[in-house]
Structure 1
Amino acid sequence: MPHEPQPQRPDELDAEAVRTWSSLALAALGRAREDIDAINVYPVADADTGTNLYLTAESADRGLAEAFPEVTDGTAGTSLAEAVRAWAHGALVGARGNSGTILAQLLRGVADVLGDEPAQRAEQAQQAGPGPGGLLARALTRAAEEAYAAVAHPVEGTMLTVAGAAARAGEAAGAAAGTAAEVARAAYDGARAALAETPGQLAALGRAGVVDAGGCGLVVVFGALWQALSGQEPAAEPVRAVPVPQSPDPCAQEEDGPAYEVIYLLEASEAAVGELRERLDGLGDSLVVVGGDGLWNVHVHVDDPGAAVEAGVVAGRPYRIRITHFGDERRRARGERAQRAVVAVVAGEGLAGLCGEAGATTVLVRPGEPPAVAELLDAVRRAHAREVVLLPGGAELRAAAAAAAEQARAEGVRVAVIPTRSAVQGLAALAVHDPEGSFDEDVVAMTAAAGATRYGELAVAERQSFTSAGICQAGDVLGLIDGDVAVIGSGLAETAEAVLDRMLGSGGELVTLVLGPDVPDAVAERLEAYVQQGHLAVDTVTYRGGRYSAPLLVGVE
Structure 2
Amino acid sequence: MPQPPDDLDAVAVRTWCSLALEALGRERAEIDAINVYPVADGDTGTNLYLTVESAAAAVEAVFAAHETGATAPATADAVRAMAHGALIGARGNSGTILAQLLRGMAGVLADGGDAAHLRLALARAAAAARHAVAHPVDGTVLTVADAAAAAAQGDDPALGAVVNAAYEGARAALAKTPGQLAVLGRAGVVDAGGRGLVAVLGALVEAVTGRTPPRAPRTGPGAPPAPDGSAEELPAGGAAADCPDGEGGGPAFEVIYLLEARDEQVDRLRARLDALGDSLVVVGGDGLWHVHVHVDDAGAAVEAGVEAGRPHRIRITHFATESGHDLRSPAEPAQRAVVLVVPGDGLAGLCAQAGATAVIARPGEPPASGELVDAIRRAHAREVVLLPNDAALRHTAAAAAEQARTEGVRVALVPTRAAVQGIAALAVHEPDRGFDEDVVAMTAAAGATRYAELAVAEHQSWTMAGVCQAGDVLGLIDGDVAVIGSDVPATARTVLDRMLAAGGELVTLVLGEDVPDTLAEALEEHVRGGHLAVDTVVYRGGHQRAPLLIGVE
Instruction: Provide Cα deviations, 1:154-184, integer angstroms capped at 9, x if missing partner.
Output: 222211122122222323x1xx354323333
Match of 2:235 among 235, 246, 249: 246
Question: TM-score, normalised on structure 1?
Answer: 0.88
Residue 188 of structure 1 corresponds to which residue in structure 2? 167
Match of 2:35 among 32, 40, 57: 40
Aligned counterparts, 1:138-287, within 5 A: 138-171=120-153, 173=154, 176-238=155-217, 239=226, 241-255=230-244, 256-287=249-280
Which 10-residue stretch deviates more, 100-109 or 41-50?
A: 41-50
Q: Using a 3 Å threshold, how does the CA distance of structure 1 residues 333 and 550 change in structure 2: closer, same or farther?
A: farther
Q: Using a 3 Å threshold, how does the CA distance of structure 1 residues 334 and 216 change in structure 2: closer, same or farther?
A: closer
Whole-angstrom CA distance in 2 between matches of 1:47 and 1:357? 21
Residue 301 of structure 1 and its aligned partner are, at CA, apart by 1.4
Instruction: Judge conservation of contact 1:48–1:333 (CA < 8 Å) in 2.
Output: no
Residue 542 of structure 1 and its aligned partner are, at CA, apart by 0.9
Instruction: Provide Cα deviations, 1:80-118, integer angstroms capped at 9, x if missing partner.
Output: 2222222222322322221121111111111101102x6
Residue 221 of structure 2 corresponds to which residue in structure 1? none
Moved over 6 A (4+): 70-73
Letter in 1 for 2:489: A
Residue 55 of structure 2 corresponds to which residue in structure 1? 60
Letter in 1 for 2:263: E
Whole-angstrom CA distance in 2 between matches of 1:222 and 1:133? 15
Residue 126 of structure 1 corresponds to which residue in structure 2? none
Instruction: Judge conservation of contact 2:187–2:240 (CA < 8 Å) in 1.
Output: no
Letter in 1 for 2:117: L
Residue 84 of structure 2 corresponds to which residue in structure 1? 89
Instruction: Provide Cα deviations, 1:396-422, integer angstroms capped at 9, x if missing partner.
Output: 222222333334344444433323222
Match of 1:13 among 8, 11, 15: 8
Which 10-residue stretch deviates more, 63-72 or 84-93?
A: 63-72
Residue 10 of structure 1 and its aligned partner are, at CA, apart by 6.2
Q: Using a 3 Å threshold, how does the CA distance of structure 1 residues 480 and 43 change in structure 2: closer, same or farther?
A: same
Residue 267 of structure 1 and its aligned partner are, at CA, apart by 3.3
Instruction: Provide Cα deviations, 1:235-277, integer angstroms capped at 9, x if missing partner.
Output: 2343475514135325313351112222233333333333332
Instruction: Judge conservation of contact 1:47–1:250 (CA < 8 Å) in 2.
Output: no
Aligned counterparts, 1:346-495, within 5 A: 346-495=342-491
Match of 2:518 among 522, 536, 539: 522
Q: Using a 3 Å threshold, how does the CA distance of structure 1 residues 151 and 535 change in structure 2: closer, same or farther?
A: same
Residue 447 of structure 1 and its aligned partner are, at CA, apart by 2.1
Whole-angstrom CA distance in 2 between matches of 1:213 and 1:398? 36
Structure number with bigger Rg: 1
Residue 443 of structure 1 and its aligned partner are, at CA, apart by 2.4
Which 10-residue stretch deviates more, 240-249 or 96-105?
A: 240-249
Instruction: Judge conservation of contact 1:36–1:217 (CA < 8 Å) in 2.
Output: yes
Q: Does 1:102 align with 2:91?
A: no
Instruction: Provide Cα deviations, 1:355-395, integer angstroms capped at 9, x if missing partner.
Output: 22222221110123222222223323333334332222122
Partner secondary structure for residue 252 of structure 1: coil
Whole-angstrom CA distance in 1 between matches of 2:331 and 2:140? 25
Which 10-residue stretch deviates more, 135-144 or 473-482?
A: 473-482
Aligned pairs, number: 536
Instruction: Provide Cα deviations, 1:191-240, integer angstroms capped at 9, x if missing partner.
Output: 23433433333222233333322222223333443444444443234347
Q: Does 1:344 align with 2:337?
A: no
Whole-angstrom CA distance in 2 between matches of 1:71 and 1:400? 30
Q: Using a 3 Å threshold, how does the CA distance of structure 1 residues 55 and 505 change in structure 2: closer, same or farther?
A: closer
Instruction: Judge conservation of contact 1:365–1:371 (CA < 8 Å) in 2.
Output: yes
Residue 49 of structure 1 corresponds to which residue in structure 2? 44
Instruction: Judge conservation of contact 1:313–1:547 (CA < 8 Å) in 2.
Output: no
Instruction: Judge conservation of contact 1:84–1:114 (CA < 8 Å) in 2.
Output: yes
Partner secondary structure for residue 292 of structure 2: strand
Letter in 2 for 1:508: G
Runs of 5+ consecutive residues of structure 1 not aligned to the other structure: 1-5, 122-131
Which 10-residue stretch deviates more, 101-110 or 220-229?
A: 220-229
Whole-angstrom CA distance in 2 between matches of 1:222 and 1:395? 44
Instruction: Judge conservation of contact 2:240–2:328 (CA < 8 Å) in 1.
Output: no
Residue 511 of structure 1 corresponds to which residue in structure 2? 507
Q: Does 1:76 align with 2:74?
A: no
Instruction: Provide Cα deviations, 1:121-156, integer angstroms capped at 9, x if missing partner.
Output: 8xxxxxxxxxx6322211111111111121122222
Letter in 1 for 2:339: V
Residue 550 of structure 1 and its aligned partner are, at CA, apart by 1.8
Partner secondary structure for residue 39 of structure 2: coil
Q: Using a 3 Å threshold, how does the CA distance of structure 1 residues 464 and 16 change in structure 2: closer, same or farther?
A: closer
Partner secondary structure for residue 36 of structure 1: helix
Instruction: Judge conservation of contact 2:385–2:414 (CA < 8 Å) in 1.
Output: yes
Q: Using a 3 Å threshold, how does the CA distance of structure 1 residues 383 and 72 change in structure 2: closer, same or farther?
A: closer
Whole-angstrom CA distance in 1 between matches of 2:254 and 2:25? 23
Residue 453 of structure 1 and its aligned partner are, at CA, apart by 1.7
Whole-angstrom CA distance in 2 between matches of 1:479 and 1:97? 39
Instruction: Provide Cα deviations, 1:482-536, integer angstroms capped at 9, x if missing partner.
Output: 2233333223222222222222223222111111111111111122122222222
Q: Using a 3 Å threshold, how does the CA distance of structure 1 residues 537 and 151 change in structure 2: closer, same or farther?
A: same
User: What is the root-mean-square deviation of aligned Cα atoms in Å?
Assistant: 2.8
Whole-angstrom CA distance in 2 between matches of 1:418 and 1:230? 50
Letter in 2 for 1:309: V
Partner secondary structure for residue 78 of structure 1: coil
Residue 137 of structure 1 corresponds to which residue in structure 2? 119
Residue 127 of structure 1 corresponds to which residue in structure 2? none
Instruction: Provide Cα deviations, 1:40-68, integer angstroms capped at 9, x if missing partner.
Output: 22111122223322332333233333333
Aligned counterparts, 1:285-324, within 5 A: 285-324=278-317
Whole-angstrom CA distance in 2 between matches of 1:55 and 1:244? 30
Question: TM-score, normalised on structure 2?
Answer: 0.88
Runs of 5+ consecutive residues of structure 2 not aligned to the other structure: 218-225
Instruction: Judge conservation of contact 1:41–1:253 (CA < 8 Å) in 2.
Output: no
Whole-angstrom CA distance in 1 between matches of 2:137 and 2:408? 40
Whole-angstrom CA distance in 2 between matches of 1:398 and 1:107? 36
Whole-angstrom CA distance in 2 between matches of 1:385 and 1:72? 45
Q: Does 1:22 align with 2:17?
A: yes
Residue 334 of structure 1 and its aligned partner are, at CA, apart by 4.5
